[in-house]
Amino acid sequence: MPTSDIVLHEEDFRAIRDLIQKLRQEANARVICLVDRNGQQIACVGDSDALDMVALASLAAGNVAATDSLARLIGEKDFSTLYHEGEKDNLHLSMIGGRVILVVIFDERSSLGLVRLRVKKYGSELAAALEKMQQKTVKAKSGKASSSPFTEITDEDIDSLFGN
Amino acid sequence: MTFINYAAREINCKIVYYGPGLGGKTTNLKWIFGKSNPTTRGKLISLATETDRTLFFDFLPLDLGTIRGFKTRFHLYTVPGQVFYDASRKLILKGVDGVVFVADSQAARMEANLESLKNLQSNLRDQGYELAKIPYVLQINKRDTATAVPVEEMKRQMGVKGEPVFEAVAQNGTGVFDTLKAIARMVLIELRKTA
């Protein structure tokens, strides 16, 4: 089945952002980002101004997708976490609830052990928040379509995007 | 898989450029990158081999403007065209909202075009999509080549469902933005239907 659309509402965004903010503090991480498996950034906290987060999201998703395929090639279901160690900064990627990637960027102020521990602690809470978001999306699709502003998009709206 | 972000007031859609190797998929993205306002586009990411052949994908995020108060951002991807990178192509089709098929007009590449089209249909099916049901545009590229197959013949052989067809010379930008506009429009119309 193709993956369904994601609809992120303000209150879900705040709940998710608060969770990853707590995780960032407890893990002493530089940046934490939640990315959809298809490469869309959902939420991000920390010192991310110097980073191209759109590119990071896309590459993280590509990385996880390629590694999952490698896992299946050797008979594993998936590799639930990936770790890339750099000279200063390190990258920890883990799957949350099967469809979202939690990206943690940390430096010498933290450690892999601490990051792993805290990711585990917050993983289930994040999965629950994401599940809630998903259920809202499904509910909205099955009957309350008129609540979406996009049902009202006109041809003129689309034309205006292209300046003609 | 459209991502509607009410918090950031953004709609994100994914468009994949598909087609045979050396057909001009990356050239399309490079042209779009080169001609777009730097404030509306992100970095062009190319995961390529040492000889500049696409290894995994090219990626270009592009803001088209605001619609109903939502910033519309298109994520443009290319797949590696070479036959043996099929596993990578499948991955890139995940979550796709619209596909542009970049066909090579040279007579000697017709077989490769048809093989790639068949491969697209099969890889989409593996991801749970049907080409007949998703926004799809055919671009017939390299119209300036000496052995270019006539347009009508290309349409006859490559047409799938009466999709919009654009003649292009991606090297000099001919047809590149027309193709992009057409697929973006189709994706937004689809969004209106399914939102």
pLDDT, tens digit, 9 for 90 and up, residues A132-161: 888 887 777 665 544 567 777 888 888 888
Where do runs of H (alpha helix) occur along B70-175?
Answer: 86-92, 110-126, 151-158
Share of chain B above pLDDT 90, in %: 79
Supply the pTM of this predicted model. 0.90
Q: According to the model, what pLDDT value does residue A2 have?
A: 55
Q: According to the model, what pLDDT value does residue A3 have?
A: 56
Contact B6 A38 (CB under 8 A): no
Residue of A nearest to B93 (CA): A38
Chain B contacts of A148, Cβ < 8 Å? 4, 195
What distances in angstroms separate CA B82 from CA A69, A131, B78, B101, B113, one per listed residue? 19, 38, 12, 14, 11
Contacts of A2 (CB under 8 A, 6+ apart): B1, B95, B127, B128, B129
CA distance B128 to B38: 36
Q: What count of CB pairs under 8 Å joins A to B?
A: 126
Q: According to the model, what pLDDT value does residue B195 have?
A: 64
More confidently predicted of B8 and A140: B8
Interface of B with A in 37-66 (CB under 8 A): 42-43, 45, 47, 56-57, 59, 61, 64-65
For residue B6, give the nearest of A158, A150, A151, A13 by alpha carbon: A13
Q: Specify the amino acid at residue A29.
A: A
Tens digit of pLDDT for each residue in B64-109?
999 888 999 999 999 999 888 999 999 999 999 999 999 999 999 9
What kind and span of H or E run contains B37?
Answer: none
pLDDT under 50: residue ranges of chain A? 1, 145-146
Chain B contacts of A1, Cβ < 8 Å? 128
Q: According to the model, what pLDDT value does residue B146 have?
A: 97
How much is the ipTM here? 0.81
